[in-house]
Structure 1
Amino acid sequence: MTELSRTYVDECLRGDGGLAGAVARAELPPAFEEAWRARLLPRPWFLRASETAAFARDLKGLFDLLVSLPHRLFDGDLDRYTAEIGIGPALASLLRRGGSGVPATFGRADAYHDGTAYKLLEFNLGSEIGGLEMAVFNRGLLRVPEFAEFARVHRLGHVDIAARMAAVLRDRARPALSGGGEPVVGLIEGRGGVTLYGRMMRAAVEAMAEQGIDLRIGEIGDVRTGPDGKLALDGTPLDLVLRNFAASQLLEDPAGTEAAEPFFRAHEAGRTVLFTSLESGFYSNKSALALLTDPRWSGSFDADERALVDRVLPWSRTLHAAGASAGGAGSASHTPAASGLADLVDLCRERRERLILKPGAGYGGLDTFVGWECTDAEWDKALRIAVERGGHVAQERVVPRPEPVYDPVTGTVDSWIAALGIFLTDEGYAGAHARANRADGGAIVGLSSNPDTRMVGVFSHP
């Protein structure tokens, strides 16, 4: 645990309930209340500022490596690259649509701190990642006197995700602004998406309104093209569309790709900016990260780049024949061993207690198999399923550092673990939030797969 976490819990235990109940007493805007109040952890998470800043710099370096992979490893042949990481032709064609070849530096890295350093679990790239509204929580907590005093004494700070996002939106919308003032931004989901994610979207609207950004919610079928080529939502022209739909949603919708065409045309014409383009999906696939630790390609990176990969990425391999180069999980040298899918599956079978299987394009822990929570028979079945489906990634286990959390309702102190979401923009580190589970509550820390997962605001300290 960190010393500051222990200090916070000790003060909660010694105090009159003021600090312990700060989260419960924090005044939060109504949409945020509706979306997240019932799922908030009763304390924030603390990160060391210098360490987090260094990790964010590594993430920028890793982003640059990822977007270089098609040229670096496949001579610019995007078809070979997509085949290698398990992206099918239909999805690859869609990801190309409206792209510039240079995806926006925007995303959220999900990471664990293992007590020594940050380790990257996945790199979610593109504007559909959500989460910018968590800055509202930080601001609300700082208005509680007992927490404000704790923050003053321990020099706590935070980078406001919403403020950083507002700056990005203003900058990106500038070419499409028809006049001065602030841009009008559409937060656009796929068909049926507002029903599923409307509460979170309304919280995002609330957070951006505090930043002076007019954010409007809609679905892809609600948007029309005006006579001037500009997109409009309910008759209101949009300067920028903040894309909250994924390419996979478009493919699953029989009318999805057709409905998306006006967005691409308006973007290409400079009338309404699409942020971000779908091409981010070429690099957020977990199989792209697996290429970076695969010994077949180690000669394509210089010593500093290999050191960066070793520093932040756990051992990872994609379970399909094209990418089945084996090597010892956790080996610092990543020495190549016998090739072939059968060898890789055998290696994964032997190292069950050290591996987790994830779908390359999955999210929220869905369709994930946890080796150390499986029997040998269950793991063998999981490996067969992963090979049959294709695109699953085997990743070495990262054991997150547990932290104490005082529950003001029960008066108990329990150990929790957090999956940290580190946001990145062109300007670098753009804030963080976290998802947390009890340390004994299972390996997957995800709102979609574990109902006991809690959202957490993050503060940094010297």
Structure 2
Amino acid sequence: MTELSRIFVDECLRGNGGLGEAVARAEFPPGFEKAWRSYLLPRPWFVGAAETEAFARDLGGLFDLLVSLPRRLFDGDMERYGAAIGIDPRLVSLLRRGGSGVPDRLGRADAYHDGTSYKLLEFNLGSEVGGLELAVFNQGLLDVPEFGAFAREHGLGHVDIGARMAAVLRERAKPALSGGAEPVVGLIEGRGGVAAYGRMMVATQEAMAAQGLDLRIGEVGDVRTRADGKLTLDGTPLDLVVRNFAAGQLLEDPAGPEVAEPFFRAHEAGRTVLFTTLESGFYGNKSALSLLTDPRWSAAFDADERALVERLLPWSRTVSGAGPAGVAEIVDLCRERREELILKPGAGYGGLDTFVGWESTEAEWRAALAVAVEHGGYVAQERVVPRAEPVYDPATGAVEDWIAVLGVFLTDDGYAGTHARANRADGGAIVGLSSNPGTRMVGVFSQP
């Protein structure tokens, strides 16, 4: 555990009830309250400021490596690159639509701290990553007197994800501004997405309103095109659309991917900015990370780049894209290393359709590998054992060990804040709300 976690829990155990109950007493805006209150961990998470900022700088270098992969390894041929990481040819064509060839530097890196350093599990790129409203947790907690005093005593701080994102949106919207000094922004989901994710979208809208941004919520089918090519939502012109839909949703839309054509045309014409374009999907795919650790490609990187990869990434391999002999070799290796590996879909999210080797029997693992080969696009990744931290439960007075996936945000301006998802240490390997009901969300504070 970190020293600060020990100090925090010790104070709670000594009877500082105001500190132990700070999360329960914190006041949050109504949208955040409705979306997240029942999922909050009863304490914040603590990280080292310098270490986290250094990790974020490394992530910037890793982003540059990722977007260079098609050129370095496949002579710029996106079809070959897509095949190598298990992307369906239809999806390759769609991801290229409306892009510039240089994806926006916006993403959230999900990482464990193993007690020595951060290890990157996934690098989710694109505007659909979500979570920018979680900094509301930090401010609400700081307004609780007992925690505010604790934060001042220990020099705690945080980078406001919402404020950093608002600055990015203002800058990106400038070329399409039409009605005033501030942009009107649409947060647009795929068809049916508002029903599924509306509460989180309202919390995001609330967070952006606190930054002075007018953000409207809708779905792809709600958006219209004016005669001059500008997009509108309920009659209101949009200067920028934050894309909350993924390319896969467009392929599954009853109207087909053509439903997004108005967005692409408005973006290309400079009438309404699409942020981010779909091409982020080429590099947020987990299989892209596996190319960086594959020895077949190591000669494409210089010594500093290889050191960066070794510093950040656990061993991983794509369970496809290497021809029948190559796949058979990887499958055999995965069978041997069952207790050290996890299988993830390259384009999956939330831990869905993920298989955990050390929680599986040999028969279950063989079946999982068969699924991975049949469906393609799966990645085998080496297990990272996260550092556990104590969590005091004010309802029971008990202290239990928890683990957290740190979500570190990155924009063109660099480090943009951190939040975390946490499970009890014995609560299963997958830390995600979509697949583990025991997962909790938490704000992150950094200590000098």
Shift of 1:258: 1.7
Instruction: Indicate if the aligned counterparts of 1:158 and 1:458 stay in contact, CA closer than 8 A.
Output: yes
Q: Normalization by structure 1: what TM-score?
A: 0.96
Alignment partner, residue 87 of structure 2: 87
Equivalent position SS for 2:215: strand
Equivalent position SS for 1:436: strand
**Alignment partners' CA distance in 2, 1:365 and 1:257:** 26
1:158-190 Cα shifts (integer Å, max 9, x gaps): 000000000000000000001432100000000
Alignment partner, residue 460 of structure 1: 446
| Of 173-182 and 119-128, the range deviating more from structure 2 | 173-182
Equivalent position SS for 1:400: coil
Alignment partner, residue 359 of structure 1: 345
Alignment partner, residue 290 of structure 2: 290
The residue type paired with residue 160 of structure 2 is D
Identity value in percent: 80
Alignment partner, residue 51 of structure 2: 51
The residue type paired with residue 426 of structure 1 is D
Instruction: Indicate if the aligned counterparts of 2:84 and 2:321 stay in contact, CA closer than 8 A.
Output: no
Alignment partner, residue 415 of structure 2: 429
Alignment partner, residue 377 of structure 2: 391
Equivalent position SS for 1:416: strand
**Alignment partners' CA distance in 1, 2:327 and 2:79:** 21
Alignment partner, residue 138 of structure 2: 138
**Alignment partners' CA distance in 2, 1:363 and 1:22:** 31
Shift of 1:259: 1.4
Shift of 1:254: 2.2
Instruction: Indicate if the aligned counterparts of 1:294 and 1:317 stay in contact, CA closer than 8 A.
Output: yes
The residue type paired with residue 85 of structure 1 is I
1:369 and 2:343 are equivalent in the alignment: no
Shift of 1:15: 2.6
**Alignment partners' CA distance in 1, 2:283 and 2:214:** 30
**Alignment partners' CA distance in 1, 2:40 and 2:443:** 9
Alignment partner, residue 69 of structure 2: 69
Alignment partner, residue 332 of structure 1: none
Alignment partner, residue 226 of structure 1: 226
The residue type paired with residue 279 of structure 1 is E
Alignment partner, residue 258 of structure 1: 258
Gaps of 5+ in 1: 325-338
Q: Normalization by structure 2: what TM-score?
A: 0.99
**Alignment partners' CA distance in 2, 1:50 and 1:242:** 31
Equivalent position SS for 2:124: strand
**Alignment partners' CA distance in 1, 2:31 and 2:130:** 15
1:241 and 2:244 are equivalent in the alignment: no
The residue type paired with residue 118 of structure 1 is Y
The residue type paired with residue 253 of structure 1 is D
Shift of 1:8: 0.4
1:400 and 2:382 are equivalent in the alignment: no
| Of 78-87 and 193-202, the range deviating more from structure 2 | 78-87
The residue type paired with residue 120 of structure 1 is L
**Alignment partners' CA distance in 1, 2:420 and 2:187:** 23
Q: Aligned-residue CA RMSD in angstroms?
A: 0.9
Shift of 1:343: 1.6
**Alignment partners' CA distance in 2, 1:320 and 1:289:** 14
The aligned runs of 1:155-174 (5 Å cut-off) are 155-174=155-174
| Of 176-185 and 234-243, the range deviating more from structure 2 | 176-185
Instruction: Indicate if the aligned counterparts of 2:338 and 2:358 stay in contact, CA closer than 8 A.
Output: yes
**Alignment partners' CA distance in 1, 2:307 and 2:275:** 32
Alignment partner, residue 105 of structure 2: 105
The residue type paired with residue 423 of structure 2 is N
1:175 and 2:169 are equivalent in the alignment: no
Equivalent position SS for 1:73: helix
**Alignment partners' CA distance in 1, 2:283 and 2:137:** 30
Instruction: Indicate if the aligned counterparts of 1:84 and 1:323 stay in contact, CA closer than 8 A.
Output: no
Shift of 1:357: 0.3
1:334-363 Cα shifts (integer Å, max 9, x gaps): xxxxx7221211111011100000001100
- Seen in structure 2, the aligned counterparts of structure 1 residues 444 and 391 have a Cα distance that, compared at 3 Å, is same
**Alignment partners' CA distance in 2, 1:231 and 1:85:** 34
Equivalent position SS for 1:152: helix
**Alignment partners' CA distance in 2, 1:224 and 1:86:** 34
**Alignment partners' CA distance in 2, 1:400 and 1:69:** 29
Equivalent position SS for 1:357: strand
